[in-house]
Amino acid sequence: MASSNPAVPASENAAPPAPHSEIKALSPVEASKRRAAYKAVEDHFDTSYKYIGIGSGSTVVYVVEAIAAKGRDITSRMVFIPTGDQSKQLIIEAGLPLGSIDSLPPVEVGHTKMDGVSALQVATGLQDLGLKGKRQSLDVAFDGADEIDEDLNCIKGGGACLFQEKLVATAAKKFICVADSRKLQKRLLTTWKTIPIEIAPLAAPTIKRILITLGSPDPVIRQGGSAKAGPVVTDNGMWIIDAPFPPLCLAADLKHGDHGDGEHGTWEVHHLGRRIKRIVGVLEVGLFHGRNGIQVAASGEEGGGQKPVAAYFGMENGEVEVRTSKEIHGVKSRP
């Protein structure tokens, strides 16, 4: 469950240090995103941090702006990890040090003693370099969402970056979501009607048929529109299927005898996310569910969780509403 903190008036929410005329030039929705982004950075960006995840989408533009405003004396000591080409360009244009999720160093390194035989085996791929120890985690990851329910489950993937977004979120000690008020709904698939699913193109026909049997009436391969003829191709060379489903239940919604596994026509968020992920050819599912980073740490495991520990919503009245997770117990069985 998530708790709702009192909304923060705009005068108290770390308003951007930009001229008033510049803020007035933004539309009300964009101004609300900006306020939420600055408040999230104020609350969750620490100058002692080393590795920062930067997500994708329109709201993250203001997150990067707020971080860059801290000054290069602070940000030059950090490494910023993107979730795709868009956020990579944001990081570069803001003058922030760029890293990548696959180059995080190990916490501890132990080297295998290398003799002539070992060197030959490494060269031929029969033996690795013997690097030992855990990999560094991101201190925090900031990202947006297409829709967020009252338990802080999210739908992401409207920008076709969902695999790398989930890769970064689950590598972070805490994932912070930033959005405008339209994205907050009681249940997922209320206003955002489809689940983005990143798939191997070769598997598209089979995956579409399976999704229909699971209750999705009309899953479609996302097209590039006027910008590109044919399907959208992700940063990973994959396609996106947008699969509509009825609004998804939370565990508390389920009636006696209904496990939320689709048998009675209802799907609970966690069950549907795991079921779709099991389909051969699915790279990743745009449902961010299960555990958050606090739960993962409490269970003694490495890395982070799919769900945010807090979500910041820019409201139409100029305030920022903060929803924080209260699920801080360790849970080992839910990814």
Q: Which residues are catalytic?
A: 165
Q: List, in order, residues 6 or more apart from 192 with CB less than 8 Å away.
A: 146, 147, 155, 158, 183
Q: List, in order, residues 6 or more apart from 128 with CB less than 8 Å away.
A: 122
Sort residue 142 into left (φ over 0), alpha (ψ -120 to 50) or beta: beta
For the chain, the C-alpha Rg in angstroms (whole number) is 21
In DSSP terms, which residues pair with 154 in a beta bridge? 148, 288
Residue 244: helix, strand or coil by DSSP?
A: strand
The token duo for 20 is 């008033």
The token duo for 332 is 């080992």
Which helix or strand (DSSP H or E) is residue 296 part of? helix 293-298
Residue 150: how many other CB atoms lie within 10 Å: 17
Cα(244)–Cα(76) distance, integer angstroms: 43
Which residue stretches of 9-149 are H helix?
20-24, 28-44, 60-68, 72-75, 85-93, 116-123
Q: Are the CB atoms for 113 and 23 separated by under 8 Å?
A: no
Which helix or strand (DSSP H or E) is residue 204 part of? helix 204-213
DSSP label at residue 136: P
Q: Are the CB atoms for 305 and 291 separated by under 8 Å?
A: yes
Residue 201: how many other CB atoms lie within 10 Å: 13
